[in-house]
Chains A and B, each alone.
Chain A
Amino acid sequence: MSLVCFEQTGRCAIFGRKRPLNRNIRRYGILCSLSLLSAVSLPASCEEFSPTLSFKGFGTVGISGSDTERLGFRRDISQNQGVTNNAGFDIDSRLGLQLDAELNPYWHLGAQWVARSHAGDFIEQNLDWAFLRWSPSLDTDIRVGRLGIDQFLLSDYRNVGYAYLWIRPPHEFYAGLPVYHFDGADISKKIEVGSTFLTVKGFGGYTAYDAPSVVSGTESLASVVVGFSALLEYENWKARLAYNWTRNVQDPKSLGQLSQALNDPSVAALWPDTQSLIDALRVEDTTIQFSSIGLAYDDGVWLMQFEGSYIDSDYSGYPSLASGYLSGGRRFGKLTLYSLFGIAETLHKHYEVSQPLLAVPQLVALRDGVERSLNQNGVDEKSVSLGLRYEVYENVALKAQWSHFWLGENGTQFWIEPQNGATPDTVNVWSFGLDFIF
Chain B
Amino acid sequence: MKSLLLALFLSFSAVAQGEIAVIVNPNNDLEQLTVKQVRDIFLGRARAFPNGKFAVPVDQTTSIRTYFYEQVAARPIEQINAYWARLIFAGRSSPPKQLEDDEAVLQAVKNNEDMIGYVDKNRVDDDVRLLLLIP
Contact = CB atoms under 8 A, between A and B. Distances in A.
Contact of A44 (B1, B54, B77, B92): B54
Interface string B1-40: 1111000000000000000000000010000000010000
B129 to A, nearest CB: 14
Contacts of A141: 92
Given A43-B114, A156-B91, A300-B75, A235 B4 contact: yes
Contacts of A52: 97
Given A43-B56, A44-B112, A44-B114, A394 B77 contact: yes
A150 B89 CA distance: 12
B91 A395 contact: no
B86 A195 contact: no
Given A41-B52, A108-B94, A192-B46, A300 B74 contact: yes
Interface centre among A42, A44, A148 (most CB of B within 10 A): A44
A138 B86 contact: no
A233 B45 contact: yes
B91 A44 contact: no
Interface stretch (A98-106, A220-228, A258-266): A98-106
Nearest to B77: A394
A128 to B, nearest CB: 9
Interface residues of B, number: 36
Interface in A1-53: 2, 17, 41-45, 48-49, 52
Contacts of A108: 94
A52 B96 CA distance: 12
Contact of B81 (A45, A138, A156, A395): A395
Contacts of A300: 2-3, 74-76, 79
A300 B45 CA distance: 18
16 contacts: A41-B53, A42-B54, A43-B114, A44-B53, A44-B113, A56-B88, A98-B88, A108-B94, A112-B91, A129-B91, A141-B92, A143-B91, A162-B81, A235-B4, A391-B78, A394-B78
Given A147-B91, A192-B46, 5 more contacts: A98-B88, A162-B85, A163-B89, A300-B79, A395-B78
